Chain A
Amino acid sequence: TQLLEQSPQFLSIQEGENLTVYCNSSSVFSSLQWYRQEPGEGPVLLVTVVTGGEVKKLKRLTFQFGDARKDSSLHITAAQPGDTGLYLCASPGGFGGNTGKLIFGQGTTLQVKP
């Protein structure tokens, strides 16, 4: 069973700072998703990366997929209090196809203080 390791587990920063969250596995990812979960809500998809070396940007968020597809990172530039939440990486738990089985990392709790 593929395990996803996220780091750091907790991050508390001041508004305007930059940060990076990492997601690693000993196995190759078929694809990798990043979700954000706010208190009292379910996770919401931010991005899906599929190709090794891929870089995707979503406003102040930059997502990278490692060349070997074993690692991914999420970088936030000039963090704002609205970025506060739990960030989760996830990868399909099965082989091929589009299923509802995802393996999630433990998550990174981000707190951005004004």
Chain B
Amino acid sequence: KAGVTQTPRYLIKTRGQQVTLSCSPISGHRSVSWYQQTPGQGLQFLFEYFSETQRNKGNFPGRFSGRQFSNSRSEMNVSTLELGDSALYLCASNQEGAWTGELFFGEGSRLTVL
């Protein structure tokens, strides 16, 4: 069974630009969550999508947005990039109904903002 796939793995942008990251969950998983990981703040929850609807949202500004498609693939977008947006963005999927609540993470997209 293929794992969670994130693209691109690495990207460099400049301040003010926007970026779109993509995530394909494990087949059969309908929940997709996004996290930002930085050395200073650690892993922070951005948002979660389930059946194309945003189910949970973290404390990030409106520049961070996401969506989910009917095939459960998800994208997140960051507009008007700031230097502080440089981070590893992780996507995770989980199996609805699984009692362990295990999240399966992708390898991440490392964003550098110059």
Is there contact, CB below 8 Å, between B42 and A100?
A: no
If A33-B101, A42-B107, A48-B100 touch, whether A107 touches B94 (CB-CB below 8 Å) is: no
Considering the chains assembled together, what is the distance between the CA atoms of A44 and B92 in angstroms? 10
If A48-B102, A99-B56, A100-B33 touch, whether A107 touches B42 (CB-CB below 8 Å) is: yes
Is there contact, CB below 8 Å, between B96 and A101?
A: no
Give the interface segment out of A60-68, A72-80, A86-94: A86-94
User: Size range of the interface on B?
Assistant: 20 to 34
Is there contact, CB below 8 Å, between B105 and A102?
A: no
Contact of A42 among B42, B90, B96, B99 (CB under 8 A): B90
30 contacts between A and B (CB under 8 A): A31-B101, A33-B102, A42-B4, A42-B90, A42-B108, A43-B43, A43-B90, A45-B100, A45-B102, A48-B101, A92-B101, A98-B97, A99-B56, A99-B94, A99-B101, A100-B31, A100-B32, A100-B56, A100-B92, A100-B93, A100-B94, A101-B45, A101-B48, A101-B56, A102-B33, A102-B45, A104-B42, A104-B44, A106-B42, A107-B42
